[in-house]
Structure 1
Amino acid sequence: MREWINIAKPAILSVAIVLGLLVEVHPAHAGPKETLTVAGGCFWCVEADFEKVPGVSEVVSGYTGGKVDNPTYKQVTRGGTGHYEAVEIMFDPAKVSREKLLHMFLRSIDPTDAGGQFCDRGASYRTAIFVGNEKERDLAERMVAEAEEDLGREIVTPVLPKKKFYKAEKYHQDYYKSEEVVLFTRFGPTTRAKSYKKYRKGCGRDARVRQLWGNAAPFAGS
C-alpha cells in the first residue's frame, strides 16, 4: 500500500497543479454589470461623485443625446450638436440598485434648472436621465416624481431615450484625481486634481445642492 501511495503521489500532485491553473485562468464568473447613463452638468463632478459609491465599478465621461458623430469637447460646449455632457455608470446590481443610484443622482444636482448646472450654462450642461427600455423609463419617471415630492418644487430633468454614447477625450477621464500638471488654467500652473477642486468650489455646486437638498444630498462637500 505504501508503495502504491508513493507511486500515485506525483500523479495526484500533477492533477492538483492543473486544477489550480484552471481556477486562475477561469475565475468564478462575476454577475452581469449594468449601465446607468445620466447628465448632471460637468461630467468631472458626476464621475467623481459616483466612483465613490460601493457597487460602482467605473464611471466614464462622455457625450450623448445629440446628432453629431464622434463629437469633441469644443464642439459640444460650443453648442449646436444636441449632445449633453454625460456619464456612463457601470455597476453591479447585486451590490447597488439602479433605483438607489437614481435617487442619489437626483439629489446631487439642481433638477429645477433647465439652463445648465451651477456656473456652467448652456444646453450641453443640462440634466437628463437616459433609458434603454420601458422598465427603465418607468423606474426613472417614478424616481423623478418621488424627488419632486420630496423637494416640493417642479423638476425639469427629463427622462430621454438612450442614444449612442461617445467617450470623452482621454484627459477628461478621472480628471478629478489626476496628478498631471496643467500649465495654463484659470488658476495658474497646477495639477488637474487641484484645478478640479478649485473649480468645483468656485462653481458653487455643493453649496447649491446643500441649499436644495440639505442632509439628503449624498455628495455635497465630498
Structure 2
Amino acid sequence: MTKKTIEKATFAGGCFWCMVQPFDELPGIIKVESGYMGGHVENPTYKDVKTGESGHYEVVQITFDSSVFAYEKLLSLYWPQIDPTDDGGQFQDRGPQYRTAIFYHNEQQRVEAERSKENVEKSGRFKNPIVTEIMEASVFYLAEDYHQDFYKKSPKEYKLDRQKSGRDEFIDSNWRD
C-alpha cells in the first residue's frame, strides 16, 4: 500500500500577495493558491473579505508532496514571513482578515503546528506573546484570478507593495540571524 503523500497546508499571514512567493517553485510544492478561509459567508469575494465582516482570513493554500517537502519545513518557512505578535493584522494591512493563522488539515499537522508555535514562543525572539492561531481547516474559497500569482503577474506593483508595507524591514530585523 502506497502512503498518501499529497497534502494541503493553509496559512494566513496578512495580504496573500506576499505569502505566495516564499512557498512557490520549491521542490515538492505542486501549487500555491490565494484564497479565503474561516468565515461565515459562502463563496466570498475579495470585496466581502476586505470589509473584515465576513469572518474570513486571506490565506494561501499549498498543495505539496510531503515525501519531498515535509510539513515541518513549510512551517519553518511560514513563521519568518509574519509578525506573530500582531493580532490586528499584518504590517500596513489592518483588520481581522489580515490576522495570522495556521489551518491544519489533519491531526499530525495540528501537532506539528502547535510544536512549531511553542518553539517560536520559547525562542525569546519576541517580547510580546505569540498570537498566531492554530485552527482546523474549513472550506477554502479560491480568490479571484487577478490575485493568483500576483508577484509574477504584476512584479513592479508587488515589489512596491512589499516595500511600502514594512514587511521586509520587520523580517530583516526580527528573523534574519
Is TM more than 0.5 here? yes
Across the two proteins, how many residue pairs are aligned to each other? 173
Tell me what 1:95 maps to.
68
**Residue by residue, what CA displacement relative to the aligned partner does 1:40-71 show, whole Å, maximum 9, x if unpaired?**
11111111111043321210000000010010
Q: Is the 8 A contact 1:35 1:88 kept in 2?
A: yes
1:75 aligns with 2:48: yes
Instruction: Give the unaligned 5+ runs of structure 2.
Output: none
Tell me what 2:167 maps to.
205
1:59 aligns with 2:59: no
1:152 offset after TM fit, Å?
A: 4.4
Greater shift after overlay, 116-125 or 203-212? 203-212
Alpha carbon RMSD of aligned pairs, Å? 1.5
Q: Is the 8 A contact 2:9 2:105 kept in 1?
A: no
**Residue by residue, what CA displacement relative to the aligned partner does 1:139-186 show, whole Å, maximum 9, x if unpaired?**
1100100112222442110101111000000110011111xxxxxxxx
> Helix, strand or coil for the counterpart of 1:62?
strand
Q: Using CA pairs under 8 Å that are at least 6 residues apart, name the structure with larger relative contact order, 1 or 2.
A: 2
> Helix, strand or coil for the counterpart of 1:159?
strand
**Residue by residue, what CA displacement relative to the aligned partner does 1:74-107 show, whole Å, maximum 9, x if unpaired?**
1101111100000101111121100111111012
Task: Supply the distance in 2 between the matched residues of 1:131 and 1:99 (Cα, whole angstroms).
Answer: 12
Amino acid at match of 1:194: K
The answer to which structure has the higher strand fraction is: 2
Tell me what 2:149 maps to.
174
Amino acid at match of 1:104: L
Tell me what 1:193 maps to.
155
Q: State percent identity of aligned pairs.
A: 49
- Give the structure-1-normalised TM-score: 0.74
> Helix, strand or coil for the counterpart of 2:22?
helix
Task: Supply the distance in 2 between the matched residues of 1:207 and 1:144 (Cα, whole angstroms).
Answer: 22
Tell me what 1:127 maps to.
100
Give 4+ residue runs of structure 1 displaced > 3 Å after superposition: none
Flag the structure with larger Rg: 1
- Give the structure-2-normalised TM-score: 0.93
Q: Is the 8 A contact 1:103 1:147 kept in 2?
A: no
